[in-house]
Homo-oligomer: A and B are copies of this chain.
Amino acid sequence: MTQDNLELRSTITADGMLRINLESVPVAAPGKGQLLVRVEAAPINPSDLGLMFGPADMTSLKPGGTIAAPVLTASVPERGLAAVRARLGQSMKVGNEGAGTVIAAGPDLQHLIGKRVAMIGGGMYTQYRLIEIASCIVLPDSASAAEGAALFVNPLTALGFVETMRAEGHKAIVHAPAASNLGQMLVKICEADGIDLVNIVRNQQQAELLRGLGARHVVDSSSEDFPQQLEQAIAATGATLAFDAIGGGEMTSMILNAMEAVAARDMDQYDRYGSTTMKQVYIYGGLDTGPTILKRGFGFSWSIGGWLLFHFLNRTDPAIVARMHERVAAEMTTTFTSHYTARINLTQALQPDIALAYNAKATGAKYLLVP
């Protein structure tokens, strides 16, 4: 038995063309330990967009193909090609995570047919997904597909920040930008766990949103006195650890300089090498793909690094990871709820105007793919 199936694919060719299409790929019947899931919801996360569009010039998006088999194309600038050398010519599946209903199961998992599951593992922008049970969470009957669609990446990332804080001996966290679905989860986790959190938002509307969730320290990067606000919040919380998903521009640098200014308040004499307070920023995304600009006024006790959920999970004690999974399942509809502003299907995902909209990565505008 195989199941007819359309799945979204992204290909970049060596001559600089991006091609997104819907590929007809029959899926096989599930074997032992496997489920065949009808995908009902999959979030479009920034990390998915990175794979889907790569370094393509988004102003060059063009519709093509037929109504039955639409294609979306764009050109990839010469200088962007080097960064994706390793994927050239490959038809890549897209979509980190999703949720759906089990329509067939291996002989050992027949009792799950009809149940709804949350899934992680890539290739979720598809109608049907054959998947190992180990990559699933079985959802309660009351859960909708939308509620289960984003139970891995954002929840585990937010919990991973807190575990990183504990493992590295920091006592508070700075987060930018803080009004995202992930940021809202982090506000709730920190409130529940008694951890001070400095939330950097981009406007007053986002500040109100987070305050409504209980956030105590919210600073607005669009304010004229943002550096002063940031320094005050860091002084109030003692934060020496930050997570920055912006990546490009000066946010990381501003956070480090504010932390150093706070540390310098406690120095009894001038030291040309700065404070001995260790300041750490992790860049965990690239909402701004431009260069990171570091204005090094923060002494010599600092570190900036990449932070990736999958690397974190690999290096962390499995007991801690298991505890994280349990918490996500238990708080699915409270702490770890996600909000979506629009739902689109696979065909709509290939329309240039819609693609431009969901690729804008505007905080608060979150798309759910409904295949």
Chain A contacts to B: CB under 8 angstroms = 47, 50-51, 82-87, 90, 92, 247-248, 253, 264, 267, 269-273, 276, 283-284, 286, 289, 291-308, 310-311
8 additional contacts (CB under 8 A) given A86-B264, A302-B305: A87-B270, A253-B291, A276-B311, A283-B296, A284-B300, A291-B293, A302-B306, A304-B304
* A299 with B292: CB separation less than 8 A: no
Q: How far is the CA of A92 from the CA of B307 in the complex (A)?
A: 41
By a CB distance below 8 angstroms, the chain B residues around A86 are 264, 267, 269-271
Number of copies: 2
Choose one: B271, B297, B303; the contact of A303 (CB below 8 Å): B303
The secondary-structure label for the interface of chain A is mixed
Best-surrounded residue of A82, A92, A293, A304 (most CB of chain B within 10 A): A304
By a CB distance below 8 angstroms, the chain B residues around A271 are 86
A–B Cβ pairs within 8 angstroms, 13 of them: A47-B272, A86-B270, A86-B271, A87-B270, A92-B270, A247-B296, A273-B308, A283-B296, A291-B293, A292-B292, A299-B306, A301-B311, A303-B306
* B307 with A304: CB separation less than 8 A: no
By a CB distance below 8 angstroms, the chain B residues around A292 are 292-294, 296
Q: Which residue of B lies closest to A50 (CB)?
A: B272
By a CB distance below 8 angstroms, the chain B residues around A92 are 270
A283-B296, A291-B293 in contact; A310/B273 too (CB < 8 A)? Answer: yes
Q: Which residue of B lies closest to A302 (CB)?
A: B306
Choose one: B51, B295, B298; the contact of A272 (CB below 8 Å): B51
By a CB distance below 8 angstroms, the chain B residues around A253 are 291
By a CB distance below 8 angstroms, the chain B residues around A300 are 284, 306-308, 311
CB distance from A242 to the nearest CB of B (A): 14
Q: How far is the CA of A84 from the CA of B267 in the complex (A)?
A: 13
Q: Which residue of B lies closest to A304 (CB)?
A: B304
By a CB distance below 8 angstroms, the chain B residues around A295 are 291
